[in-house]
Amino acid sequence: MDKHFLKSGAILILVGFSQLISAQTKIEIVSIENAPIISKHIYGHFAEHLGRCIYEGFYVGENSVIPNSEGVRIDIIEALKELQIPNLRWPGGCFADTYHWMDGIGDLEKRPTIVNTWWGGVTEDNSFGTHNFLNLCEELGAEPYLSGNVGSGGVQELADWVQYTNFKGKSPMSDLRRENGKEEPWGVKYWGIGNEAWGCGGNMRPEYYADIYKKYVTFMSDADVEGGIYKIASGASNDDYNWTEVLMKNIPKNMLQGVALHHYSVIDWGAKGPDVNFDEETYFKTMKESWLMEELIVKHTAIMDKYDEEKKVDLIVDEWGGWYEVSEGTNPGFLYQQNTMRDAMIAGMNLNIFNNHADRVKMANLAQTVNVLQAVILTEDEKMILTPTYHVMNMYKVHQDATLIPLSFDSPSYNFKEESLPALTVSASKDKNEEIHISFTNIDTKNGSTVSIDLTDLKLKNIMGAILSSESLQDHNTFDNPNKIEPKNFKDFKFNKGMLEVTIPPFSVLVLEGKK
């Protein structure tokens, strides 16, 4: 039996491979002394001007027959409020480094159009801009996370945007904001300094980007934002560890609050596989790429630890999720894909990984919120459906701002042909009300995973649960059958004198709640 030991501060996570599928897996609670808080911002989202995410997704316009609030669909607002989304990243993505924010403010009729050269070559009229987005975030109770244009924009342009959104006093930009109908500033804390600077954000070398980063943030004012603005550097793609090394080595820590990381569960950028009609081999390969997130976080944080022992700089996984070929008959530049039980597996696995690395991972942003990639919401005219991914994030929201309960265990294996992956991911937390939540994701297609946990020291009296499962991995919600996959009550467990025994069915997500 092989074991992988991943140690970070007070957190100890043991993930192993067991050939005894039917054997019971014993999960042990590690000392929770000095355990970190699972930041609610791990459950963040991402909305880019891409395909039908903004237009025909979030934004239908104030004259639409679809019920809306300032042009944004009310049903989407209500769904995201239920999800308790903590933050929303906008306007990109690759689009961010071609977006000039002043094109999206002021008189609608006077706004210039822009060609979205990254996504479909469509022309948009800039009718959805800074006010729309920041007012939406206020209505959602979510922190806005603005991606600044570093690729094609100037230093003054970004500095002006910061002043426009945040400055309370009298200045050219705050006066302009008031002229456009917003007296008090929004107080935008989270700012991305460009996006994917190694690629669509400018094809830069890390050394060059580090210098550019320092130049831009020098002119971004902290005025009127409690604690100052939170600046996030454009980070590495996947296993580009040199990128992280160069940034951590060359950017002073007082200028840097977060370093980004992007990783998608994509099997081959030239042949991503279908969104629905996939076989088990494709599924296994996707799960293998999804599991890579664990290794990436461990290795990137090891580099960060070398330069930042006190963990003052956070790791921000601001793009993650599944990426397949687009749904048949849709625009290839719009990245519209269906959302199946495979996506539920990706969501549950990655959220467990993020939770267990809560000492360094402080924000993550699923790509993307509506109608793009691993969306939580899909729309078709006036219709709207919630995807399996939505339901997983809704089940897992109980971990937001709760204290991590570190666990150790040897995972049973999910075997396919000559390869194996850990079948089980688990994370646990204790919230401010002393309630305990344990989330399980079993990616095995055929075998349930039976576990036992000694919860005696937690003095729990009652346990209840919810499960997301279906008959087929390819199952998904449709506009004709929107509730095919949704959480159901789960009672198939034993809890006696503090000992919990439960079997997590194949390809399912389970969350248990314990109360004293």
Q: Going by DSSP bridges, is the β-strand pair 499-504/424-430 parallel, antiparallel, or unpaired? A: unpaired
Per residue in 447-501, pLDDT tens? 999 999 999 999 898 999 999 999 999 999 999 999 999 999 999 999 999 999 9
Per residue in 408-418, pLDDT tens? 999 999 999 99
DSSP secondary structure string, 124-154? E---S-HHHHHHHHHHHT-EEEEEE--SSS-
Asked if the model's pLDDT at residue 250 lies above 80, the reply is yes
Which residues have a Cβ under 8 Å from the Cβ of 185 and sit 6 or more positions away?
A: 165, 166, 167, 168, 174, 177, 224
- For the whole model, what pTM was predicted? 0.94
Residue 398 contacts residue 510 (beta carbons within 8 Å): no
What is residue 56's three-state secondary structure? coil
Q: Distance from first CA to last CA of the chain, Å, rounded? A: 37
Per residue in 83-106, pLDDT tens? 999 999 999 999 999 999 999 999
The overall longest dimension of the chain from CA atoms, in Å, is: 70
Q: Going by DSSP bridges, is the β-strand pair 190-193/143-148 parallel, antiparallel, or unpaired? A: parallel
State the pLDDT at residue 411: 95
- CA dist 242 to 235, 237, 299, 363, 391, Å? 10, 10, 11, 22, 37
Residue 11 contacts residue 31 (beta carbons within 8 Å): no
Per residue in 113-147, pLDDT tens? 999 999 999 999 999 999 999 999 999 999 999 99
**Residue 157 annotated in active site:** no
DSSP state letter for 59: B
Asked if the model's pLDDT at residue 7 lies above 80, the reply is no
b/e sequence 45-72, b meaning 16+ C-beta within 10 Å: bbbbbbbbbbbbbbbbeeeeebebeebb
State the pLDDT at residue 103: 97
DSSP secondary structure string, 203-232? ---HHHHHHHHHHHHHT---TTSTT--EEE
Work out the pLDDT band at 9, boundaries 50, 70, 90: very low
Mean pLDDT for 217-227 is 95
State the pLDDT at residue 2: 33
Cα–Cα distance measured from residue 347 to residue 386, given in angstroms and rounded to the nearest whole number: 14
Asked if the model's pLDDT at residue 14 lies above 90, the reply is no
Residue 513 contacts residue 465 (beta carbons within 8 Å): yes
Mean pLDDT for 259-285 is 97
Mean pLDDT for 168-189 is 97
Cα–Cα distance measured from residue 477 to residue 340, given in angstroms and rounded to the nearest whole number: 8
Average pLDDT, rounded, for the chain: 94
Number of Cα atoms under 13 Å in the Cβ half of residue 250 = 18
Among 56, 143, 196, 294, which one carries the catalytic annotation?
196
Work out the pLDDT band at 11, boundaries 50, 70, 90: very low
Cα–Cα distance measured from residue 267 to residue 346, given in angstroms and rounded to the nearest whole number: 13
What is residue 261's three-state secondary structure? strand
Residue 174 contacts residue 121 (beta carbons within 8 Å): no
- For 268, other C-beta atoms within 10 Å of its C-beta total 10
Work out the pLDDT band at 366, boundaries 50, 70, 90: very high
**Residue 196 annotated in active site:** yes
Ranges 29-38, 199-208, 371-380, 398-407: which has the least confidence: 29-38
- Could you tell me how far CA 292 lies from the centroid of its own chain? 16
State the pLDDT at residue 18: 37
Mean pLDDT for 152-163 is 98
State the pLDDT at residue 112: 96
Three-class HEC string of 336-398:
CCCCEHHHHHHHHHHHHHHHHCCCCEEEEEEECCECCCCCCEEEECCEEEECHHHHHHHHHHH
Asked if the model's pLDDT at residue 5 lies above 50, the reply is no
Share of the chain above pLDDT 90, in %: 93
State the pLDDT at residue 23: 67
Domain boundaries, the chain: 25-31+406-515, 37-401
Per residue in 308-350, pLDDT tens? 999 999 999 999 999 999 999 999 999 999 999 999 999 999 9
The CATH number assigned to the domain with range 25-31+406-515 reads 2.60.40.1180
- Which CATH number applies to 37-401: 3.40.1110.10, 3.30.160.340, 3.20.20.210, 3.20.20.80? 3.20.20.80
- CA dist 336 to 32, 98, 341, Å? 42, 22, 17
Mean pLDDT for 271-292 is 98
